[in-house]
Amino acid sequence: ITRHSHRLSLTSSLPSGHFSCGVCRLAVDVSHGQYSCNKRCGYTVHSKCATRDDVWDGIDLEDVPEEPDEDIEPFVRIDEYTIQHFTHGHHLKLQGSFLH
């Protein structure tokens, strides 16, 4: 898929949660096969959407090494105990025995 900067692979299932297709924006049923980002950034696409002629150039990159990507944390540190994770619409705060 040329719409996403990372390599995608066909997966048989995803962890529970709400995923929307990066092409058609409709909900993705995580119990069925779909394509998802190898870098675990949350980008997911229906298998039918991923193989559309206007989405995929038809080139199989399975044996082609992926270019290195800069290592980016999946969250923004708000303060010492609070982060904003890309999968959440709100801040997450560390609490309890993990503090010390």
Residue 3 binned pLDDT confidence (cut-offs 50, 70, 90)? low
**Contact indicator for 33, 10 with CB cutoff of 8 Å:** yes
d(CA 100, CA 96): 9
What backbone phi and psi angles, to 5 degrees, belong to 99? Answer: -70, -25
pTM summary value:
0.56
Token pair recorded at residue 86: 């890309």
Residues forming a β-bridge with 82 = 79, 93
Contacts 24+ apart (CB under 8 A), 30-35: 34/10, 35/1, 35/8, 35/9, 35/10, 35/11
pLDDT above 80 (res 20)? yes
Sign of CA dihedral 76, 16, 40, 95: positive
Residue 86 binned pLDDT confidence (cut-offs 50, 70, 90)? confident
